[in-house]
Amino acid sequence: MTPAYEFCHWLTQTYVGQEMQGNAYLFPTVEALHIMGSVALVASTSILSLRLSGFFLKEIPVSKIAGQFLPWAWLGFACQVITGTLLFMSEATLAYDNVIFQVKMALIVLAGINALVFQQTAYRRVKFWDLSNPPFSAKFAGYASIVIWFAVIAAGRWLNSSVANSPVLPPT
Amino acid sequence: MHTLYSLCYWLGNTPLGRSIHDSSWMFPVIETLHLFGIVVLVGSASVLDLRLMGVAFKDYTVSMLGRRFLPWIWGGFALMVVTGGLLFSSEATKMYGSDVFRAKMLMIAAAGVNALVFHFLAYRSVGKWERDPVAPLAARFAGVVSILLWFGIVGAGRWIAYS
């Protein structure tokens, strides 16, 4: 048994982990909130991404769009971290060595890196292109963000069937 | 047998309904596209709703946001109708008896009525108030009702799987 598995097993045995498994209403409710959070997170980031790609809301400065929509993206992200953790706690031992779960987490990290690189490079000089055609690197960051976040949603949906269908294996 | 039930039975036995029902991958793939549609539809509708409520995006006029986001709302809605119709066709007789499904359809109808009432009442005079940071009561009310209904519809959609 690896320490990671032991940690996951411990998570499922906590009060919250047990409630998430035992209470028939809790899991679907948290799942519904997880979908609602995806609307706030992915719609907000996509609006900024479409602005960066240069074909939506062109007459509004990029910095203004970022300032107005990113707080909603962060609110959605907070909702996703909380509800996602609760869902994970109910089936941590099934998810931890699940390839689709790992792909989903890797995609989220990738989305973070993409946003960080954009913020530290093209966005630093935003005042020079706030109202003009965004530079290639900004457009690229925008397209990449849309593709990654929708892939995260798809991975989440796929994860749902893969965890539900996977046999409960004894710890090795 | 009830006409509506017969229709559901017929739909579930069409080649399309049967293939989605029998396939191991079609249902999850269509469901994924249904989730993509939620982001486009509910995300765009929420931008307008939050503006009408006076919560966010107050320095844009209502008509400008409407012009920019309504095409996305309609595009998302079209995707929802197509993917939702396909999902329904694969389990139509099951949905016929589902209270949660009925609640979801009623809420969608209510969201439509709400949008229509807004369009023909408060939106008619939009030129007079669209620059005000706080919209008139009827518009604010339509915004609150719309955002609650759409998130309720999303919640109901998730619950259908468990009902």
Query: Residue B120 burial (CB < 10 Å; 0-12/13-18/19+)?
Result: exposed
The yes-or-no verdict on residue A172 having pLDDT over 50 is no
Rounded Cα distance, B145 and A74, in Å: 24
The yes-or-no verdict on residue A163 having pLDDT over 80 is no
The yes-or-no verdict on residue A40 having pLDDT over 60 is yes
Chain B residues with CB under 8 Å of a chain A CB are: 28, 31-32, 35-36, 38-40, 42-44, 46-47, 56-57, 60, 68, 151, 154-155, 157-159, 161-162
Searching chain A, which residue's CA lies closest to the CA of residue B31? A157
Confidence of residue A165 (pLDDT cuts 50, 70, 90): low
CA distance, residue B13 to nearest chain A CA (Å): 25
Of the two residues A60 and A54, the one the predictor is more confident about is: A60
Contacts of A110 (CB under 8 A, 6+ apart): A148
The yes-or-no verdict on residue B77 having pLDDT over 90 is yes
Chain A residues with CB under 8 Å of a chain B CB are: 28, 31-32, 35-36, 38-40, 42-44, 46-47, 56-57, 60, 68, 72, 150, 153-154, 157-158, 161
- The confidence score (pLDDT) of residue B106 equals 97
- The confidence score (pLDDT) of residue B99 equals 95
Residue among A44, A93, A89 at smallest CA distance from A66: A44
Q: Scanning the structure block, which residue is given the tokens 């999902």?
A: B87
Q: Does B47 sit within 8 Å of A161, measured CB to CB?
A: no
Q: Does A153 sit within 8 Å of B36, measured CB to CB?
A: yes
* Residue A8 maps to a domain: yes
Q: Does A47 sit within 8 Å of B39, measured CB to CB?
A: no
The yes-or-no verdict on residue A167 having pLDDT over 70 is no
The yes-or-no verdict on residue B92 having pLDDT over 90 is yes
Report chain B residues whose CB lies below 8 A from the CB of A159: none
Rounded Cα distance, B8 and B21, in Å: 14
Look up the ipTM and state it. 0.92
Q: Does B56 sit within 8 Å of A47, measured CB to CB?
A: no
Q: Which residues of A149-168 are buried (b: 16+ CB within 10 A; e: fewer)?
A: bbbbbbbbbbbbebbeeeee
Can you give the length of chain A in residues? 172
Confidence of residue B162 (pLDDT cuts 50, 70, 90): confident
CA distance, residue B1 to nearest chain A CA (Å): 33
Rounded percentage of chain B residues whose pLDDT exceeds 70: 99
The yes-or-no verdict on residue A166 having pLDDT over 90 is no
For residue A134, give its domain range: 3-165
Q: What is the DSSP string of chain B?
A: --HHHHHHHHHHTSHHHHHHHH-SSHHHHHHHHHHHHHHHHHHHHHHHHHHHHTSS-TTS-HHHHHHHHHHHHHHHHHHHHHHHHHHHHHTHHHHHT-HHHHHHHHHHHHHHHHHHHHHHTGGGGHHHHTTSSS--HHHHHHHHHHHHHHHHHHHHHHHHTT-
Rounded Cα distance, A94 and A164, in Å: 9
Under a CB-based contact definition with an 8 Å cutoff, are residues B111 and B150 in contact?
yes
CA distances from residue B58 to A155, B38, B50, B98 in whole angstroms, order as listed: 35, 24, 9, 41
Mean pLDDT value of segment A95-99: 90
Establish, for the pair of chains A and B, how many residue pairs have beta carbons separated by less than 8 Å. 66
The yes-or-no verdict on residue B85 having pLDDT over 90 is yes
Domain positions in chain B: 3-160
Under a CB-based contact definition with an 8 Å cutoff, are residues B82 and B36 in contact?
no
The yes-or-no verdict on residue A169 having pLDDT over 50 is no
* Residue A171 maps to a domain: no
In chain A, helix, strand, coil percent, each to 5? 80, 0, 20
CA distance, residue A154 to nearest chain B CA (Å): 6
Report chain B residues whose CB lies below 8 A from the CB of A32: 154-155, 158-159
CA distances from residue A62 to A122, A142, B23, B50, B130 in whole angstroms, order as listed: 11, 12, 44, 20, 23
Of the given ranges (A127-136, A157-166, B104-113, B117-126), which has the lowest mean pLDDT?
A: A157-166
- The confidence score (pLDDT) of residue A132 equals 87
Rounded Cα distance, B87 and A157, in Å: 15
- The confidence score (pLDDT) of residue A164 equals 63
- The confidence score (pLDDT) of residue B130 equals 85
Rounded Cα distance, A129 and A138, in Å: 10
Mean pLDDT value of segment A136-141: 95
Q: Which residues of B74-92 are buried (b: 16+ CB within 10 A; e: fewer)?
A: eebbebbeebbebbbbbbb
Of the two residues A132 and B84, the one the predictor is more confident about is: B84
CA distance, residue A25 to nearest chain B CA (Å): 9
CA distance, residue B132 to nearest chain A CA (Å): 18
The yes-or-no verdict on residue B1 having pLDDT over 90 is no
Mean pLDDT value of segment B65-80: 96
CA distance, residue A164 to nearest chain B CA (Å): 13
* Residue A15 maps to a domain: yes
- The confidence score (pLDDT) of residue A171 equals 47
- B18 is written with which tokens? 């049967």
Q: Does A153 sit within 8 Å of B35, measured CB to CB?
A: yes
Total domain count for chain A? 1
The yes-or-no verdict on residue A168 having pLDDT over 50 is no
Under a CB-based contact definition with an 8 Å cutoff, are residues A138 and A52 in contact?
yes
* Residue A170 maps to a domain: no
CB-closest option in A28, A39, A57 to B39: A39
Q: What tens digit of pLDDT does each residue of B13-49 get?
A: 999 999 999 998 999 999 999 999 999 999 999 999 9
